[in-house]
Amino acid sequence: MKTTLFALPALLITTGLAHAADPNVTVYGVMDAGVEYLTKANVAKDHLFRVASGAMNTSRLGFRGAEDLGGGMKAIFQLEGGIKLNTGQSDGDLFGRQANVGLEGSFGRLVVGRSYSTTYDFMLPFDPMGYSGNYSWVISGNATPPSGTTARKDGMLGGTSNLLKYQIESSGLKFGATYGLGNVAASSKDSARYALGAAYTKGPVAVAGTWDQTNGTSNAAGAYDKAVSHHLTGSYQTGPVKLFLGYRHYKKSLASQAPALKSATYWSGVSYQLAPGSTLVGAVYSQNVKNVAAGADADPRMFVLRYKYALSKRTDLYATTARVSGKNNKPVSLSRDDIGFGTSQAGLTLGLQHRF
């Protein structure tokens, strides 16, 4: 939806955007909510029936714009925040998803501020569930650790603050890089984040690979935790069928000199367009937790099935069901965000999504 600045909410005016002269500003969003039935949802392993926000894709509201600077160059900006439709609350900080400004031209695209990392951008097209808010482990695996916290999960570098991000595309090739400054006076490496990515698309075939690193804060000895992940993915489209494969290797080296935390996550999936506006998606995610004592890992596997029916170009009905199970009596969870309370869990979500 294109609009002039005078038509934007008062919220935008308070940010100073009202001074811009170019009217090329887009207001966009995703509104996604449904009802979910979930097993083993607490310590007592009770079942849960709830309204879920962002079950297929996270609900959000955003603003982006561009000004033509001449010579093929544009000034660009983007502000985006998550929304919990079940409560109306902000899902994180006001503009915790995107808050950046940059330049774009024949040299590529460079933005400064907060955004998603190169890893996130390059891997998104290769998740059969599209980074679903429910029932996808591409962003983060979900073998809940024995301590009952989420600290043991592997994952990719996602939202990044204090960011410089560059990307360029040409003839099917795409390259990108991210540097998230730690903003620590004592050391440029403390809390810093880095990512590199490359992708290639030709006809029905697409492949991509990424590397990223997240540093912790150094201790008295000057050492810090360091989490590194590598991704390798591919997809193939043939008629109404699209196939997906993905792999992540994760290693977290600890400043304490304790054994490193390691895991590997695999996923595969297929999307099949049954008819115009009617799509069936199936996916399998599995995680292999490594470098732990025998019997201490869950090594979970999740099976997901989703049917989506388009009521229009912008509005979809969907039904998603999934089941996860693990080993060694360790808790696992369907969600990439929530801890688990049993060695298996099942869920069913019926939802509605509107995009504008």
**For 176-230, what is each residue's pLDDT tens digit?**
999 999 998 878 899 999 999 999 999 999 999 999 999 988 887 788 899 999 9
Contact by Cβ (8 Å): 128, 235:
no
Domain ranges of the chain: 2-355
Residue 295, C-beta contacts closer than 8 angstroms, at least 6 positions apart: 328
Region 282-288 average pLDDT: 94
Asked which of 10-14, 35-39, 181-185, 283-287 is least confident by mean pLDDT, the reply is 10-14
Residue 325, C-beta contacts closer than 8 angstroms, at least 6 positions apart: 300, 301, 332, 343, 344
Contact by Cβ (8 Å): 95, 79:
yes
Residue 136, C-beta contacts closer than 8 angstroms, at least 6 positions apart: 127, 129, 130, 283, 285, 304, 336
Residue 293, C-beta contacts closer than 8 angstroms, at least 6 positions apart: none
Q: Count how many Cα atoms sit within 13 Å of the Cα of residue 6 in the half-sphere of its side chain.
A: 1
**One-character DSSP codes across 214-264:** EE----TTS---EEEEEEEEEEEEETTEEEEEEEEEEEEE-TT-PPPEEEE
Q: What is the pTM of this model?
A: 0.88
Cα 288 to Cα 14, 249, 302, 346: the distances in Å are 48, 10, 12, 20
User: In degrees to the nearest 10, what's the CA dihedral of 153, 158, 160, 166?
Assistant: 140
Strand (E) or helix (H) holding 123: helix 118-123
Q: Is the pLDDT of residue 148 over 60?
A: no
Region 127-138 average pLDDT: 89
Cα 136 to Cα 45, 53, 126, 316: the distances in Å are 22, 15, 12, 19
- Supply φ then ψ for residue 250, to 5 degrees: -125, 135
Q: What is the pLDDT of residue 66?
A: 96
- Strands 159-170 and 261-275, by their bridges, are unpaired
CATH topology of domain 2-355: Porin (2.40.160)
Q: What is the DSSP letter of 290?
A: E
Q: What is the pLDDT of residue 325?
A: 93
